[in-house]
Amino acid sequence: GAVVSQHPSWVICKSGTSVKIECRSLDFQATTMFWYRQFPKQSLMLMATSNEGSKATYEQGVEKDKFLINHASLTLSTLTVTSAHPEDSSFYICSASPRTSYGYTFGSGTRLTVV
């Protein structure tokens, strides 16, 4: 149980275009989902907390207008990287927890390359 599905697994886009990444909880409802970014050989950095039906909470230094988060249902959160640039190339991972004492489950991640 507690499966989180993330798509796409990898994407290559041209500089200036936008990319949408989907994160779905398959067998539980997730009021809250978390988006992380990981650069090569670095740890996971929390970008934002996605809340169903309300605005996301962004971490300091993360541009909310560039990284648009929509959590329209209890099973789906999306991250849109707008006007992507090569420096946005990274590994993006979503996470959610079905309940306290269960732990967190991660999606398989999306490797974004902006050329």
Q: Which of 31, 80, 89, 113 binds other proteins (CB under 8 A)?
A: 31
SS3 88: helix
Q: Is 15 in the site for other proteins (CB under 8 A)?
A: no
**Cα torsion through 70, 71, 75, 77, rounded to 10:** 40
What's the number of CA atoms in the CB half-sphere (13 Å) around residue 13? 24
What's the angle, vertex CA 38, arms to CA 29 and CA 24, rounded to 5? 20
Q: Is 62 in the site for other proteins (CB under 8 A)?
A: no
Give whichever of 15 and 102 is closer to other proteins, judged by the CB atom: 102
Q: Is 75 in the site for other proteins (CB under 8 A)?
A: no
Q: Which of 97, 112, 113, 115 binds other proteins (CB under 8 A)?
A: 97
Q: Which of 21, 93, 112, 114 binds other proteins (CB under 8 A)?
A: 93
**Cα torsion through 1, 107, 9, 75, rounded to 10:** 80
Among 12-20, 30-38, 62-70, 73-81, which window interacts with other proteins (CB under 8 A)? 30-38
List helix spans (H) across the chain. none
For other proteins, the binding residues (CB under 8 A) are 6, 30-32, 34, 36, 42-46, 49, 91, 93, 95-109, 111
